[in-house]
Structure 1
Amino acid sequence: MQDAHTQQLAYHQRRQHQPGWQDLVQTLFSGILATAEGEDGHQFLRMMGGDLARRHPLAACHTVGGLEDSLNQLLATFDWGEVTLTPGERGLTLTHIAWPVAPQADAAGWQAAFAAVLEGAYAAWLQAQGGHDQVPLRWQGPNPQQTLLFRYQKGL
């Protein structure tokens, strides 16, 4: 029997699959990462995520809870899963679940590419809410629990 979290992820992934579009995006991501040198491909995808965030701005939010709600409303329009924001003493943790998966893709490459797009988008949304452009937002790397963890913290 699957736990509730696993069932939720499976539900979102079934709903999000769009044959053709996800194959095209996965092909584009793979091509970008394969042809760019070193970190350049990830930087390009971060830039694309930032551009996407500027095309879809959030209304001004006055609380972390309000920001989380606004982000989740926008992510729902994209069918890109959900995010939970957890403030800490020195920064903010963003936990993203149920992102779209690309069937037949290199899972690690897809995850890293999608995380790079989200890095750029989340960074732009946070800056537009009054965040400082010198505070980095970074993906914390692969996670076995099907989540994408990001830290927004000075000194990363």
Structure 2
Amino acid sequence: MTSFDPSTLFRARGCSRQWLGFVRALAEEFAAELPEHELATLMARIGRRFAHRHPIGECVALGEVETAANRIWGEVEWGQCRMEEQAGSVEITHAAPPLAVALTGMDWSDGFLAGVYEGWFQQLGMLAGLAVNAERPPAPDLRRLRLARAV
């Protein structure tokens, strides 16, 4: 009997084979030319463009934002998120983003997700002085971000 391991399946199919080599080569070239903080900034700009092209729509409560984000992520097969309000911040956990497979070990790629979520919160009227920042990933296929006062 064959063992079933969903994480292995995800890692094998998390990024289309037709794009995997290209994305890795592109990332390696970027990494050879730019320092990590500039790469994270570039990825955040790309993420904000994605958010602009995939508007979140009208949302009033955080649960509605999570539902709308997961609808968009589902349409583009980019995993799913959970948003949790905490004292002074919103914690965003994003599961199974393809970049986690394609760009393993390149933590600057989390800037893309930070830019997307920041773009969506800006569409919803996010106050000046707030920002979305990537935090240390809790697991290889999970990304953690936080909407909080910019430091």
1:10-55 alpha-carbon deviations (Å, 9 max, x no partner) = 4544443311212212222222222113511211111111111111
* Greater Cα offset, 112-121 or 139-148: 139-148
Runs of 4+ in 1 over 2 A off after TM superposition: 9-17, 142-146
Structure number having the greater strand percentage: 2
What secondary structure, in the 3-state scheme, does the structure 2 residue paired with 1:75 have?
Answer: helix
TM-score by length of 1: 0.83
Rounded Cα–Cα distance in structure 2 between residues aligned with 1:30 and 1:143: 24
Rounded Cα–Cα distance in structure 2 between residues aligned with 1:126 and 1:23: 32
**Superposition CA RMSD, Å:** 2.1
1:148 aligns with 2:146: no
Contact 1:12 1:81 in 2 (8 A): no
CA positional deviation for 1:155: 4.5
Q: Any gaps of 5 or more consecutive residues in structure 1?
A: 1-5
Q: Any gaps of 5 or more consecutive residues in structure 2?
A: none
Describe how 1:72-111 pairs up with structure 2 within 5 A. Answer: 72-100=70-98, 101-102=101-102, 107-109=104-106
CA positional deviation for 1:146: 3.2
Partner residue of 1:50 out of 39, 44, 48:
48
Partner residue of 1:66 out of 43, 57, 64:
64
* Percent identity of equivalent pairs: 21
